Structure 1
């Protein structure tokens, strides 16, 4: 998910906790824990500073997004908040773990994916059932805030309802996306899903031989192909990998790629991010 959504998740957790019996320094410790926890897996962006081998694509959302690191992140957040605010709230350990878990699990739901099982598996889990920027989630949190400010219901009760609505939304998105990918994907060699910004609408990218089809899908309508790409599967990619290591990382990271070879360029790109004639995940060399 995007940074704004992750921040909203942290603030949403803070609002959903009953703080009526908490002291001021305890509330501050809670706020620090949930906001930091909602962002800390993305600390891997600093790997750009030492990425001399083109491996950032694999490092970003890699080990720091592993579900096995959730207890370690939670313990770190608890220790930092305790050192700063001198609180005695044991539950902050679990709340910190929850904020990290929501971050890394929500990232699995979009097309970018994460190394959710690292270091035991290098597979990138990417369901693609929720867009990276989900405006429904934004709208639910905004509605909860307005209801709390204008009403008389306790803040934690309003935001617990908001979390239930978000869980329902994500579940419906995921179930529909999984159904479409299963029913449409069985017609092709490979298929990948990417949720669109409009709820319950998806883009499905499917590969059959050299042809890669991109189309829109929803449970109530047929899969409609709007773009067909041709991949040069016979191209020798060794010069590309030798001169542009980022291409090798992209090929490992993506479910499948489109291979481009013409008189001027040799490259590969991820068709899930194909927009306006080109994918923004495109690595190539000029001949």
Structure 2
């Protein structure tokens, strides 16, 4: 999910916490635990500062998003709260752990995926059933906020209901994505699912040999082919990887790639991120800038 959604998740966790009769210091700690826990896995963005080998694509959403780091992040946040406010309440640890777990788990629902089981596996886990920005989730949280402000009802009860609706939306969306994915699984050697920004709308990138098709549609309306691409998959990519290390990372990160080898460029792109005939997750080199061995 995007950073705004993660921050809103943290605020919604805080809102769903019963803070009646909670000491002021504990309340402050709970707020920090909920919001910081919802954001801290994305601390890996600073790896861009020392990335000289084009590895950021793998480092971002890598080890910091591992399910095994949930208690580590929670303990760190609990310790910071203890040092600032001298609070030892266990709820701070549990809320921080919940926030980190929600961050890491929600990120596997979109196509970008995470290194959910690092360091034991470097496989990128991404289901593609939820878009990286989900307006329905935002709308559910906004409605909850307005109900609290206008109706003056008990906040934690309202935000608990908000979480029920968020989970229900994710389940419905994921079931639809699973049905769409299974409907084409016998048609392709490899395929990958991506949720579009409109609820219930999905895209499938499917590959057979050198041919790649991009389909989009819904459970109720079916799928239609919107792009057909021929990959130059037999091309030697060594020079591309040498001259553009980010291309090698993209090759490792993507379920499969389309290879472009024309008179001007040598490159690869992820067909899941292909709109209106234009790839936007694309790494390449200009042939005139390097010596290409035949």
In the superposition, the TM-score normalised over structure 2's length comes to 0.96
CA shift digits 1:62-121 (9 cap, x unpaired): 000000000100100111011111113111111100000000100000010000000000
Equivalent residues of 1:184, 1:223 under 8 A apart: no
Deviations along 1:166-209, one digit per CA (max 9) or x if unpaired, are: 00000111111012112212211111111011111101111111
Residue 211 of structure 1 is matched in structure 2 by: 211
Partners in 2 of 1:172 and 1:218 — Cα distance?
A: 13
Structure 1 residue 286: Cα displacement = 0.6
Q: Does 1:195 align with 2:195?
A: yes
The 5 Å alignment of 1:16-35 reads 16-35=16-35
Partner of 1:85: 85
Unaligned runs of 5+ in 2: 288-294
- Match of 1:268, SS state, is strand
TM-superposed deviation, 1:222: 2.0
Confirm whether residue 103 of structure 1 aligns to residue 109 of structure 2.
no
- Corresponding residue pairs, total: 287
How far apart are the structure 1 equivalents of 2:109 and 2:29?
Answer: 29
Aligned-pair Cα RMSD in Å: 0.9
Residue matched to 1:233: 233
The structural deviation recorded for 1:50 is: 0.8
- Are 1:144 and 2:150 an aligned pair? no
* Alpha-carbon distance in 2 for matches of 1:33, 1:126: 26
Secondary structure of the residue aligned to 2:18 is coil
Equivalent residues of 2:227, 2:277 under 8 A apart: no
**Contact kept in structure 2, 1:196 and 1:203, CA below 8 Å:** yes
**C-alpha displacement of 1:130:** 0.2
The corresponding residue for 2:165 is: 165
Match of 2:60 in 1: 60
* Greater displacement, 276-285 / 67-76: 276-285
Deviation at 1:152, TM superposition (A): 3.8
User: Aligned partners of 1:12, 1:166: CA distance in 2, in Å?
Assistant: 11
What stretches of structure 1 move > 3 A for 4+ residues in a row? Answer: none
Deviation at 1:277, TM superposition (A): 2.6
Residues 1:264 and 2:252 aligned together:
no
Paired with 1:121 and 1:33, the residues of 2 have a C-alpha distance of 28
Contact 1:109/1:128, CA 8 A, preserved across alignment: yes
Separation in 1 of the partners of 2:3 and 2:280? Answer: 19
